[in-house]
Amino acid sequence: MDAILGAIVPALLELLTPTHLAMLGLGVVFGLVIGVLPGLGGIAGLSLILPFTFDLDPSLALAMMVGMLAPLHTADTFPAILMGIPGTSSAQATVVDGFPLARKGEAARALSAAFSASLIGGLFGALVLSVAIFGAQSVILAMGFGELMMLTVFALSMVGMLTGSSALKGVATCGIGVLIGTIGGAPATGEFRLTLGTVYLSDGIYLVIMGLGLFALPEIIELLRRRSTISDTGKLGSGWLQGLRDTIKYRWLVLRCSALGCIIGALPGLGGSVADWITYGHVVQSSKDKSQFGKGDIRGVIAPEAANNAITGGAMIPTLLFGIPGSGSMAILLGGFIMIGIQPGPSMVSTNADITFLIIWSLALANVVGAAACFMIARPVSHLTVVPYGLIGPAMIVVIFFGAFQATRGWADFFALLAVGLLGIYMKRFGWPRPALLIGFVLSNGLESSFYRVAQVYGWSFLERPIVLVIVALTLLSIAAAWRSRAKVAFHGDAAVGPPLHLRLPQIGFTLLIAAFVVMVIVEGLQTSYLGRIFPLTAGLITMGLVAWVLFNQLRPRMTLDLTDQEATSPDTVHGNAYFLTWLFGFLGAVALIGFPIAATIFIFVLSSVQTTVSKWISAAVAFGVFTLLLTLSYFLVLDYPNGLIEEFLDLPWWLG
């Protein structure tokens, strides 16, 4: 043990040499750029820098790789708060309160709180890694199938906190998320469910597309309709110190959420994309005044940001100890370890402890450097929120199409994004909570396969395991808390009468469409084998009951919380959703004709010229900037954008489509 502890200081001294610092810094710059771009995360970042690491000394390569991973979840906060676009999948929960804060003109405060919480989360993650890695082996091995299944159920119970005003709709939405998650190969039999005969759907819908479609696309279209700036006040706010004060004020929340993030990252099976939602659920649950969540509560930013930076430290634990990656980016990091000659395993805490400490120090230092860099560029970047949105929106549409394209790098990604975006737009309009859908979706697969495993290996005897019982108790507490905190709104007098039937027809129609999807899942489920259908059928029947209940409430003449139609309450816009959806279809048509980069450039120029009164030259400059960005990314990521018909007549270079 002395020999191991003796490795701490030399590892730090090694990292503090100029070459190591330079490599770490390079990694951090990479990480910041990758984090800001939606659709690109740790996987893309690592595969970009892997080729450079081959010829490096292993410790230099490590500093660079870890340096890239550490600031990802600090940088992904920029688009989440400023644009409502999750920069990586772990920033989805940040959008829920971060973006409303930017709309209220408090972007500066939100960013500064997020970065400081991120910094603490990241440092905490590194600290936990350095202590826990010596005892984590037995803890990870104590978490069997039963424990992992109950953890998934516990995570699912957080949905109770993410339901919005109507609890019934929230739980129904979660069920729909679970059903969407069953699309693709059945874990137990490999049968394809609801794939409509396509290769694309056989892997299910990709998380990046769900995130961008549900959150980013609806927000962009709403902002375009308003023809204003992101900040409603047109001001930035001078909240830098306020944000720091927020983090200090909620210091225990920051530490709790960092710890949660670390644990979730370290446990195989749950995955980092759940951590931000679990901590978001936690902060809502543990707060007395819940009225501002979803409308711009700073705690809703602090909690997921503290967690998502701590994940990286936690996720390193199984990667280093067992050689088993807990996430996609850890898988490629593991590949990188092997390429530079590091064999993960128990030796990482004995003979190779020096490497482990080098990783830990790199993680800590990269978090500090990354957060500092974000603070420095935050002020100029947040000016985007006071620029007319007609100028930014079209470019953002192209950027999220680019992000969605990273899923499989094919045309189908565009269609999937449009389909999910359409769902998101109407869920938003009719008050179906999108976070609830996402948490159901993310947990669906894990729930199904862990359910089979427990049934096969343990049967009911899994309830005899003590850790399972602890998690069961936590889950019951979480559900009870959700039950107690649900909004008790009673309608009296005139308010008790709902809008007339013809005004309700749009939302009733949407509910019917959802019901049709559920029926489709059930009918399709009947055609698969027993093991392939038991889960979607069970979830489908429960969801059907909930949706039918919503429908019943919507049909009755009384006013209920299940009735929401934003169009009916805020019609003060020039164009409707359909107008902008037509633009999107037009864009895809143009891509089919002239290829993605050129079509994107023209789309940005034309739409921003129509939407704003600023000089055509500025629109052209924005369009050209995005064009350059697309080509640069295409070159370095070896992306082949969709070709247009023009390719048939002109021999364009590959990076131009």
Partner 1 sequence: MSNRSLLKGIVVAGGVAAMSATAGMAQDVSFEGQRVEAIVPFGEGGGGDTYTRFIVRHLAPHLAGEPTIVVRNIPGGGSVNGANWFGQNAERDGTHIAVASTSTTLTYAMTPDDDRIAFNASDWVAFLASPQGRVVYVNSSTGITSLEELAGYEGDLFMGIQSPTGSDLPSLLSLALLDAPITPVFGTSGGDQHLAFERGEFGINADVASAYIQMAQPLVDRGVAVPLFAFGYADENGNIQRDPNFPDLPSFVEAYEIVHGETPSGPGFEAWKSMFFMGVMASKAMVLPDGVSEDVVVAYGAATEAMLEDPEFQAEAAAFIGNYPQLTGDAARESLRQATTISDEARQWVADWLMESYNIEL
By the 8 A CB rule, do 171 and 546 touch?
yes
Helix/strand/coil (H/E/C) assignment for every residue in 521-558: HHHHHHCCCHHHHHHHHHHHHHHHHHHHHHHHHHHCCE
Q: State which of positions 588-647 bind partner 1 (CB under 8 A).
A: 638, 640
84, 187, 300, 595: which one binds partner 1 (CB under 8 A): 187
Rank residues 102 and 447 by Cβ distance to partner 1 and give the closer one.
447
408 touching partner 1, by CB under 8 A: yes
Strands 192-193 and 184-185: antiparallel
**Which tokens go with 48?**
């970009």
- Taking CB under 8 A as the binding criterion, the range among 39-47, 110-118, 361-369, 418-426 that sits at the site for partner 1 is 39-47
54 touching partner 1, by CB under 8 A: yes
335 touching partner 1, by CB under 8 A: yes
154, 293, 452, 510: which one binds partner 1 (CB under 8 A): 452
C-beta of 467: minimal distance to partner 1 in Å?
12
Residues that contact partner 1, how many (by CB under 8 A): 59
C-beta of 538: minimal distance to partner 1 in Å?
16
> Which segments of 6-76 are extended strands (E)?
none
DSSP states along 309-338: HHHHHHHHHHHHHHS--SSHHHHHHHHHHH
Rank residues 29 and 140 by Cβ distance to partner 1 and give the closer one.
140
Give residues with Cβ within 8 angstroms of 563, minimum separation 6.
498, 499, 504, 507, 553, 554
CA–CA distance, 407 with 209 (Å, rounded to integer): 7
404 touching partner 1, by CB under 8 A: no
20, 453, 486, 504: which one binds partner 1 (CB under 8 A): 453
338 touching partner 1, by CB under 8 A: yes
17 touching partner 1, by CB under 8 A: no
Give the residue from 382, 394, 358, 336 showing the smallest Cα distance to 584: 394
CA–CA distance, 540 with 154 (Å, rounded to integer): 20
By the 8 A CB rule, do 272 and 227 touch?
no
141 touching partner 1, by CB under 8 A: yes
185, 388, 393, 424: which one binds partner 1 (CB under 8 A): 185
419 touching partner 1, by CB under 8 A: no
* Cβ neighbourhood burial of 49 (10 Å; 0-12, 13-18, 19+): buried
449, 554, 609, 619: which one binds partner 1 (CB under 8 A): 449
- Taking CB under 8 A as the binding criterion, the range among 58-66, 368-376, 404-412, 514-522 that sits at the site for partner 1 is 404-412
C-beta of 280: minimal distance to partner 1 in Å?
27
Share of the chain residues as helix, strand and coil, in percent rounded to the nearest 5: 75, 0, 25
By the 8 A CB rule, do 350 and 4 touch?
yes
Q: State which of positions 492-531 bind partner 1 (CB under 8 A).
A: 529-531
140 touching partner 1, by CB under 8 A: yes
197 touching partner 1, by CB under 8 A: yes
- Taking CB under 8 A as the binding criterion, the range among 248-256, 296-304, 328-336, 540-548 that sits at the site for partner 1 is 328-336
Rank residues 142 and 241 by Cβ distance to partner 1 and give the closer one.
142
By the 8 A CB rule, do 587 and 602 touch?
no
Q: State which of positions 456-495 bind partner 1 (CB under 8 A).
A: 456-457
C-beta of 47: minimal distance to partner 1 in Å?
4
Largest pairwise CA distance in the chain: 77
Between the CA of residue 395 and those of 233, 390, 599, 606, 629, what are the distances in Å? 22, 9, 12, 11, 11
Rank residues 246 and 524 by Cβ distance to partner 1 and give the closer one.
524
Q: What is the CA radius of gyration of the chain?
A: 24
190 touching partner 1, by CB under 8 A: yes
70, 332, 396, 539: which one binds partner 1 (CB under 8 A): 332
By the 8 A CB rule, do 216 and 86 touch?
yes
199 touching partner 1, by CB under 8 A: yes
- What's the half-sphere exposure (Cβ side, CA atoms, 13 Å) at 460? 0
135 touching partner 1, by CB under 8 A: no
CA–CA distance, 611 with 607 (Å, rounded to integer): 6
Residues lying near partner 1 in the complex (CB under 8 A) are found at 43-44, 46-47, 50-51, 54, 140-142, 144-145, 185-191, 197-200, 202-203, 268-269, 322-325, 328-329, 331-335, 338-339, 341, 343-346, 408-410, 448-449, 452-453, 456-457, 529-531, 638, 640
